[in-house]
Chains A and B, each alone.
Chain A
Amino acid sequence: MAFTKNTSSVDESLRTELAKKGVLWTSLDFLYNWGRRSSIWPMQFGLACCAFEMIAAACARYDIARFGAELFRASPRQADLMIISGTVTKKMAPQVVRLYNQMPEPKYVLTMGACAISGGPFVDGYNVLRGIERYIPVDVHLPGCPPRPEALLHGLMELQKKIASQEILKAEWYKKGLKREFPIPELGPNGLIPKFNPEVWQPAKKNPRREHYGQTILVGKKLKAPDFELAVTAKPIAPRAAA
């Protein structure tokens, strides 16, 4: 699937200047994007602890409503933005891809936290997907463990910037025959089938993590188990002398 890069060819300062002079085309684009970026409706679903930061961002103190994104829709068919908030387990990944497929165009994905980006601290886990971008395209990556609500607002603003830079003429969701749906992975005997969708994501040629940390998986090769029966029980700590 080929994606045309949808960025506005109009310079920001030039656009404001032209808008002052009443050049309609840029103004319409601007108006259209203003409407879209000021009412991003996220989908209401949380996967792990990052979801609490998302909830906090929706509450009064951080108040995501200031950005027009307070309507968390309980149905993917009414949502524009999917916030992947937390660890995606292999068991949960098919459902996440299915929800993405059910969202209407235009749709955006924001991965929140280290786990949703790459697996994070659980990257070597047997049931942890190493990043949802293996199956669906992601617009904004938001690092942190978990990111604070302010960071989520920052991510939302970055997405708003992206939306503001798009043009109606280049918008892929108005093109004929666009079907931005991805096949849903299946649960296999050792993990997910397939392990990733090469159309969306491919492993890097160079693996800096392996180069830096050595072997990736550091479990399963312990040659010796602790022998509790031989181990000496800890002596009780002697009471301290009175000062």
Chain B
Amino acid sequence: MNISVEEVKKEIETHLPNVKLRLVRDSILIENPEDLPQVALFLKESPRFLLDYLSSVTGADYLTFLESVYHLYSMAQKRGPVTLRVRVTKNNAKVPSLVPVYRSAELQEREAYDTFGIIYEGHPDPRRLFMWEEFQGYPLRKDYAQEDTEVLEIADIAWLETRGIEVPVEMKEKAKTLHAAGQRAVAQKPEKPRP
């Protein structure tokens, strides 16, 4: 059973008049990310919708902005989902955390932070989830440069040589030329986007 988005939007607008909303397809875009927790709390507690279950928190990269998407379901009324969207810029990707409202947001916000670099303010444990702490960059962003795993870099050569492993000369030379040019060994990308 589906919930009509227009209905939800109307309900939020009557009860929270300060919140600016916009319909994007079949989801509700909250114009100001600061309003997200109060909207979520309202939807969770409003007796009409009782959206008591946050199923997923997703990040998305739209090149010009980042998006954080939330899917809410009602376990009490057995219906859903209602999709909420929040948009932030890449330079200032800060969204208030939903952990105080839904505990289930905790791991998923960590995942979105790990892969897209969206910082959830007020998260109790803001660490990376899949990658390790020393990892740099956010691998699911469209501008992420992935390493070329076939080519050794200067750090790899130094690491191998301190452990007494012989490295072929052509690999060493390639690493040196890359290092001299100040480049990383980055995986090739297609010249044209996929059709």
Contact = CB atoms under 8 A, between A and B. Distances in A.
A190 B187 CA distance: 12
A190 B143 CA distance: 14
Interface stretch (B13-21, B70-78, B145-153): B145-153
Interface stretch (A26-34, A156-164, A166-174, A180-188): A180-188
Contacts, number: 106
B3 interface: no
A215 B149 contact: no
A233 interface: yes
Interface in B49-66: 61-64
Contact of A220 (B25, B146, B147): B146
Contacts of B143: 220
Given A187-B132, A190-B184, A198 B193 contact: no
Contacts of B159: 186, 193-194
A197 B171 CA distance: 12
A233 B62 CA distance: 19
A229 B146 contact: no
A217 B148 CA distance: 9
Contact of A225 (B63, B144, B156): B63
B134 interface: yes
A189 B134 CA distance: 6
Contacts of A186: 159
Interface string A211-243: 000111111111111001101010000000000
B92 interface: no
A229 B23 CA distance: 9
Majority SS at the chain A contact face: loop
A223 B165 contact: no
B136 interface: yes
Contacts of B171: 198
B139 interface: yes
B166 A225 contact: no
A197 B160 contact: yes
B190 interface: yes
Nearest to B163: A183
Interface residues of A, number: 38
A37 interface: no
B115 to A, nearest CB: 9
A188 B155 contact: yes
Contact of B165 (A124, A190, A197, A216): A197
Given A91-B131, A190-B184, A220 B149 contact: no
A220 B189 contact: yes
B160 A217 contact: no
Interface of B: 24-26, 61-64, 130-132, 134-137, 139-140, 142-147, 149-153, 155-157, 159-160, 163, 165-168, 171, 184, 187-191, 193-194
8 contacts: A187-B132, A187-B134, A190-B137, A198-B171, A218-B190, A220-B189, A222-B142, A224-B193
Interface of A: 91, 124, 126-127, 130, 183, 186-191, 193-199, 202-203, 207, 214-225, 228-229, 231, 233
Given A91-B131, A220-B144, 17 more contacts: A124-B146, A126-B140, A186-B159, A187-B132, A191-B147, A194-B152, A195-B151, A198-B165, A203-B150, A215-B191, A216-B188, A217-B189, A218-B190, A220-B145, A220-B146, A220-B189, A222-B142
